[in-house]
Structure 1
Amino acid sequence: MQGFTKTNQIYVIDIGLWMMPWNPTLLFLTGKFLPGLDCRESPAGKDKLATDVKLEVGDDYVVIDNGLVRVTLSNPRGSVTRIQYNNVDNLLETHNEEENRGYWDLGWSKPEKAHHGIYDRIYGTNFTVIMKDPDQVELSFVRYWDPSFGNKSVPLNIDIRYVMLHGIPGLYSYAIYEHLKGWPDFDLAETRIVLKPSKDKFHYMAISDDRQRTMPMPEDRATGQTLGYKEAVRLTNPSNPELKGEVDDKYQYSCENKDCKVHGWISNDSFTGFWIIIPSNEFQSDGPFKQDLTSHVGPTTLVMFHSLHYSGEDVVLKFRDGEHWKKVFGPVFIYFNKVVDDHQEVPYSKLWKDAKNQMMNEVQSWPYQFPKSKDYPHLEQRGTVTGRLFVQDRYISKDYISAKSAYVGMALPGVAGSWEREGKGYQFWTKADASGSFCINNVREGKYSLYAYVPRFIGDYKYDVDITITPGCSCVIDVGDIVYKPPRNGPTVWEIGIADRSSGEFYIPDPAPKYINKLYLTRPNRRQYGLWERYTELYPDGLDILYVIDASDYSNDWFYAHVTRKNDNRTYKATTWQVLFELHNVDRNRGNYTLRLALASATYADLHVRVNNPQANPPLFKTGLIGKDNAIARHGIRGLYRLFNVNVPSKLLLKGSNSIYLTQSRGSSPFIGIMYDYIRLEGPPQK
Structure 2
Amino acid sequence: MAMSDNRQRYMPLPDDRTAERGQPLAYPEAVLLVNPVEPEFKGEVDDKYQYSIENKNNRVHGWISTVTDPPMGFWQITPSEEFKSGGPLKQCLTSHVGPITLAIFHSTHYSGADLILQFGPNEPWKKVFGPVFIHLNSLVNGDDPLKRLWEDAKQQMEVEVQSWPYDFPASKDFLPLDQRGSVSGRLLVHDRYISDEDLPGNGTLVGLAAPGDVGSWQFECKGYQFWTKADEKGCFSITGIRPGTYNLFAYVPGLIGDYRYDAEVTISPGCDKDVGTLVYEPPRSGPTLWEIGIPDRTAAEFFVPDPNPKYINKLYLNHTDRFRQYGLWERYADLYPHNDMVYTVGVSDYRKDFFFAQVTRKTDNNTYQGSTWQIKFKLDIVDKNNTYKLRIALATAHVSDLQVRINDLRPSNPHFSTGLIGNDNTIARHGIHGLYRLYNVDVPGVQLVEGNNTIFLTRTWSTSPFQGIMYDYIRLEGPPSSKGNNLGFSSK
The TM-score normalised by the length of structure 2 is 0.96
Matched, 1:638 2:433: yes
Matched, 1:659 2:454: yes
Q: Give the 3-state SS of the residue equivalent to 2:276 in structure 1.
A: strand
Q: Residue 636 of structure 1: CA displacement?
A: 0.6
Q: How far apart in 2 are the matches of 1:349 and 1:569?
A: 51
**1:326 alignment partner, one of 101, 115, 126:** 126
Q: How far apart in 2 are the matches of 1:366 and 1:533?
A: 45
Q: Give the 3-state SS of the residue equivalent to 1:219 in structure 2.
A: helix
Could you say which residue in structure 1 is the equivalent of 2:412? 617
Could you say which residue in structure 1 is the equivalent of 2:477? 682
The alignment's C-alpha RMSD in Å is 1.0
Could you say which residue in structure 2 is the equivalent of 1:236? 34
Matches within 5 A, 1:4-403: 205-222=1-18, 223-270=21-68, 271-342=71-142, 344=143, 347-403=145-201
Could you say which residue in structure 2 is the equivalent of 1:536? 333
Q: How far apart in 2 are the matches of 1:327 and 1:284?
A: 10
Could you say which residue in structure 2 is the equivalent of 1:512? 308
Could you say which residue in structure 1 is the equivalent of 2:489? none
Q: Residue 211 of structure 1: CA displacement?
A: 1.1
Q: Which runs of 5+ in 2 are unaligned?
A: 483-492
Letter of the 1:549 partner, please give it.
Answer: V
Q: Residue 668 of structure 1: CA displacement?
A: 1.6
**1:488 alignment partner, one of 277, 284, 291:** 284
Q: How far apart in 2 are the matches of 1:412 and 1:653?
A: 43
Matched, 1:582 2:382: no
Q: Residue 322 of structure 1: CA displacement?
A: 1.6
**1:647 alignment partner, one of 432, 442, 447:** 442
Q: Give the 3-state SS of the residue equivalent to 2:49 in structure 1.
A: helix
Q: How far apart in 2 are the matches of 1:293 and 1:493?
A: 40
Q: Residue 570 of structure 1: CA displacement?
A: 2.2
Letter of the 1:339 partner, please give it.
Answer: L
Letter of the 1:286 partner, please give it.
Answer: G
Q: Residue 341 of structure 1: CA displacement?
A: 3.5
Q: Give the 3-state SS of the residue equivalent to 1:310 in structure 2.
A: coil
Deviation string, structure 1 residues 106-143 (Cα, Å, up to 9, x no partner): xxxxxxxxxxxxxxxxxxxxxxxxxxxxxxxxxxxxxx
Deviation string, structure 1 residues 455-505 (Cα, Å, up to 9, x no partner): 1111100000001111x2x22101111011111111111110000111010
Letter of the 1:277 partner, please give it.
Answer: I
Q: How far apart in 2 are the matches of 1:206 and 1:418?
A: 32
Matches within 5 A, 1:589-628: 589=385, 591-628=386-423
Letter of the 2:361 partner, please give it.
Answer: R
**2:227 alignment partner, one of 408, 412, 429:** 429
Q: Which runs of 5+ in 1 are unaligned?
A: 1-204
Letter of the 1:540 partner, please give it.
Answer: P
**1:419 alignment partner, one of 205, 213, 217:** 217
Q: How far apart in 2 are the matches of 1:516 and 1:374?
A: 49
Q: Residue 272 of structure 1: CA displacement?
A: 1.5
**Which structure has the greater CA radius of gyration?**
1
Q: How far apart in 2 are the matches of 1:322 and 1:584?
A: 63
Letter of the 1:491 partner, please give it.
Answer: P
Q: Residue 388 of structure 1: CA displacement?
A: 0.6
Could you say which residue in structure 1 is the equivalent of 2:295? 499
Q: How far apart in 1 are the matches of 2:412 and 2:301?
A: 33
**1:410 alignment partner, one of 208, 227, 244:** 208
Paired residue total: 477
Deviation string, structure 1 residues 617-672 (Cα, Å, up to 9, x no partner): 20101111100111111111100000111111111111110000001112121110
Q: How far apart in 1 are the matches of 2:298 and 2:209?
A: 22
Deviation string, structure 1 residues 166-197 (Cα, Å, up to 9, x no partner): xxxxxxxxxxxxxxxxxxxxxxxxxxxxxxxx
Q: Give the 3-state SS of the residue equivalent to 1:651 in structure 2.
A: helix
Q: Residue 569 of structure 1: CA displacement?
A: 2.2
The TM-score normalised by the length of structure 1 is 0.69
Q: How far apart in 2 are the matches of 1:353 and 1:402?
A: 34
Could you say which residue in structure 1 is the equivalent of 2:356? 560
Q: Give the 3-state SS of the residue equivalent to 1:513 in structure 2.
A: coil
Q: Residue 572 of structure 1: CA displacement?
A: 1.2
Q: How far apart in 2 are the matches of 1:207 and 1:224?
A: 25
Q: Give the 3-state SS of the residue equivalent to 2:160 in structure 1.
A: helix
Higher RCO (Cα < 8 Å, 6 or more apart): 2
